[in-house]
């Protein structure tokens, strides 16, 4: 009970109250309060307003504590990275054994810095970003980042996780690789390799705008590269469902890579059938296992690239991807024109179902169009598989192709190619502007040796020389401002010391190129090639055999001695013109290097041999 001054009196059992000496008291009540009120009755009733206030305060305090705890748990969990379970991984990729599946690698959010918007997807935005390493001494590298929008619904979140899992388990040079994910906090990211030359359709559109011719070899290589990537997906039981030129990216070496797996799914498994079914039926079901994916929820369908059975029945197979590949080939030969231009999506749906097919593009070889038509068979079972398409390309390579065309196709198919660039040189513009400043972004004081380390990192996936790398790109990407190709048969051999600042060597090459070009004429142009440039103007241009670019630096340490004593010496002879760079002038490094002396011996040996023979003929 309580009195008007807030003194509470409670009944207790006898002996429960003890004094300061710990002696039990026989009192049956006790007072709780600051001041005792002698006039208060132990039997008086409590004040209802005070009791309500106390209960309200207690409830409010508990509610506040509950809200704080819930908020703390929410933000704690929100900032934790996603932990993918084995069941989640297996649900996305049932065709891969559980022990082979990998969870996406988590990247710390502060290591990823998006800086330029480059596209939009079904559930987010794509950015170019700088990604920093956990090692402070490593420079950041460029990446593409697909971000999930800030407030995704459950379907969008599920699609994001599925794409992250799928991409993290794909390893093929013709598929865009995934560096990791950021799932702690918002927005979430999928971090992928950055392909400098953008999407295939954008590249082809720009070529049309510039009125630039796209070579037959380039179109063939892209088509072969995409087929190899799709063959890999096919081997894993994965259907892409959105294959098109917009979903093929070109890296810095113009290698085509399949991307955008937002709609991709692993094929659903068929039921195992009746327990008492015959063995033939069970065997057929095992062979058909993982062969189809049926669309089970609403999604945007790329009608102009989609096969009739996928449009009609929402049934996606590898055969429906093959149909899309045929449309991609048509895009490739029309510089990414819109398929079925002039028709609505509804008309495309009806006309294709009634047997209409895209016409043969101008300048498209008949054999290529026959391959397109094979991918557009109405009966999906009669279409070739990607394994069939790639196998046919390999047979074509071994038939009547030239050595260069065969090498280019082999490279597109991901096979090792024997280099044929031993005598290819680069122009001074390619060395100074394209290679040093743009491609290598060379530091001011880096030596040639230090620059080689960077060059090898950039060419690691190609495992080739820079000259071989540039010679396999579309010719328009390597044309100098004068309208002449930036690479050609070497006309000047460069003898230098690897301890020189790389910038110094390149600047000397540039100055030397200006000097000998200025003094060249049609009848006498030592060290220069003569060709036609812009406006049909005659251009005298030296091409420099510069070992850091011409020699395959991945293989050079394994060359046997005969290469250097014979092949190399003969190359110096064939080139016939040497630029010897001496620095510093009062104590040139080359005179202290046995290899530089050998280069001089090679050059002077042939000068002496030529001079002796010439004098002998005069005598």
- The C-alpha angle with vertex 286 and arms to 280 and 288, in degrees rounded to 5, equals 105
| Ramachandran angles phi, psi of 391, nearest 5° | -60, -40
| 465-480: b (≥16 Cβ within 10 Å) or e | bbbbbbbbbbbeebbb
d(CA 140, CA 131): 5
Residue 607 zone, left/alpha/beta (φ > 0; ψ -120 to 50; rest): alpha
d(CA 413, CA 225): 6
d(CA 253, CA 488): 18
d(CA 485, CA 516): 18
Is residue 218 exposed (0-12), middle (13-18) or buried (19+ Cβ within 10 Å)? buried
d(CA 269, CA 435): 51
Three-state secondary structure call for residue 169: coil
d(CA 265, CA 296): 11
Quick one: tokens of 237?
A: 């039981």
Q: Where are the beta strands (DSSP E) in 382-509?
A: 424-426, 487-489, 492-495
Q: How many Cβ atoms are within 10 Å of 197's Cβ, its own excluded?
A: 19
Catalytic site includes residue 480: no
Q: How many Cβ atoms are within 10 Å of 315's Cβ, its own excluded?
A: 16
Measured between its terminal Cα atoms, the distance across the chain in Å is 140
Task: Provide the total of helices (H) and of strands (E) in the chain, helices listed first.
Answer: 20, 22
Residue appearing with tokens 């231009």: 341
d(CA 521, CA 376): 57
Q: Which residue in 3, 201, 242, 260 is the catalytic one?
A: 242
Partner residues linked to 488 by β-bridges: 425
Is residue 306 exposed (0-12), middle (13-18) or buried (19+ Cβ within 10 Å)? buried
Q: How many Cβ atoms are within 10 Å of 245's Cβ, its own excluded?
A: 27
d(CA 487, CA 493): 14
196 Cβ neighbours under 8 A, 6+ residues apart: 142, 250, 251, 252
d(CA 54, CA 60): 10
238 Cβ neighbours under 8 A, 6+ residues apart: 93, 95, 166, 264, 265, 266, 267
Is residue 49 exposed (0-12), middle (13-18) or buried (19+ Cβ within 10 Å)? exposed
Q: How many Cβ atoms are within 10 Å of 541's Cβ, its own excluded?
A: 25
d(CA 162, CA 143): 20
- The C-alpha angle with vertex 555 and arms to 510 and 425, in degrees rounded to 5, equals 25
Residue 169, Cα to own-chain centre: how many angstroms?
A: 14
Residue appearing with tokens 């908020």: 71
Residues annotated as catalytic (active site), given as ranges: 242
């Amino acid at each position: 009970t309580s009195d008007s001054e807030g003194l509470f009196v409670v009944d207790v059992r006898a002996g429960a109250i003890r004094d300061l000496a710990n002696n039990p008291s026989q009192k049956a009540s006790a007072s709780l309060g600051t001041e005792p009120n002698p006039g208060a009755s132990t039997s008086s009733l409590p004040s209802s307003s005070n009791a309500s206030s106390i209960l309200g305060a207690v409830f409010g305090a508990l509610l506040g504590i509950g809200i704080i705890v819930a908020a703390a748990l929410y933000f704690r969990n929100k900032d934790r990275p996603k932990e993918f379970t084995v069941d989640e991984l297996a649900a996305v990729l049932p065709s891969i054994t559980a022990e082979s599946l990998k969870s996406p690698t988590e990247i710390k959010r502060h290591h990823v810095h998006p800086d330029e918007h480059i596209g939009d997807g079904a559930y987010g935005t794509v950015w170019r970003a700088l990604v920093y390493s956990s090692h402070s001494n490593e420079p950041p590298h460029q990446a593409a980042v697909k971000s999930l929008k800030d407030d995704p619904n459950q379907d969008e979140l599920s699609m994001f996780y599925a794409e992250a899992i799928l991409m993290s388990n794909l390893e093929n040079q013709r598929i865009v690789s995934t560096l990791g994910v950021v799932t702690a906090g918002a927005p979430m990211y999928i971090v992928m390799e950055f392909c400098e030359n953008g999407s295939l359709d954008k590249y082809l559109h720009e070529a049309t705008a510039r009125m630039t011719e796209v070579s037959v070899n380039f179109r063939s290589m892209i088509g072969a590269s995409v087929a190899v990537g799709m063959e890999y997906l096919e081997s894993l039981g994965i259907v892409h469902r959105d294959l098109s030129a917009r979903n093929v990216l070109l890296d810095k070496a113009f290698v085509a890579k399949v991307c955008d797996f937002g709609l991709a799914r692993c094929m659903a498994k068929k039921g195992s059938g009746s327990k008492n079914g015959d063995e033939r039926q069970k065997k057929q079901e095992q062979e058909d296992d993982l062969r189809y994916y049926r669309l089970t929820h609403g999604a945007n369908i790329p009608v102009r690239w989609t096969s009739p059975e996928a449009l009609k029945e929402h049934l996606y197979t590898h055969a429906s991807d093959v149909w899309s590949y045929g449309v991609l080939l048509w895009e490739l030969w029309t510089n990414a024109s819109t398929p079925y231009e002039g028709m609505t999506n509804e008309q495309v749906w009806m006309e294709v179902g009634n047997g209409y097919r895209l016409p043969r593009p101008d300048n498209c070889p008949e054999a290529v169009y026959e391959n397109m038509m094979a991918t557009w068979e109405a009966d999906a079972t009669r279409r070739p598989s990607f394994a069939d398409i790639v196998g046919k390309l390999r047979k074509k390579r071994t038939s009547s192709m030239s050595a260069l065309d065969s090498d280019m196709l082999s490279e597109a198919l991901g096979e090792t190619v024997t280099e044929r660039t031993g005598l290819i040189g680069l122009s001074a513009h390619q060395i100074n502007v394209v290679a040093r400043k743009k491609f290598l972004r060379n530091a001011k004081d880096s030596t040639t040796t230090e620059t080689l380390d960077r060059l090898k990192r950039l060419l690691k996936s190609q495992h080739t020389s820079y000259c071989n790398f540039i010679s396999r790109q579309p010719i328009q990407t390597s044309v100098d401002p004068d309208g002449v190709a930036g690479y050609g048969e070497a006309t000047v051999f460069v003898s230098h010391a690897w301890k020189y600042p790389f910038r110094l060597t390149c600047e000397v090459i540039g100055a030397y190129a200006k000097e000998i070009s200025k003094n060249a004429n049609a009848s006498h142009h030592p060290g220069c090639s003569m060709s036609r440039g812009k406006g049909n103007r005659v251009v005298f241009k030296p091409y420099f055999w510069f070992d850091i670019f011409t020699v395959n630096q991945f293989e050079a340490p394994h060359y046997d001695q005969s290469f250097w004593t014979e092949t190399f010496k003969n190359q110096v002879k064939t080139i016939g013109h040497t630029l010897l760079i001496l620095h510093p002038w009062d104590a040139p490094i080359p005179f202290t290097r046995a290899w530089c002396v050998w280069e001089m011996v090679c050059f002077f040996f042939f000068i002496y041999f030529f001079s002796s023979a010439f004098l002998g003929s005069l005598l």
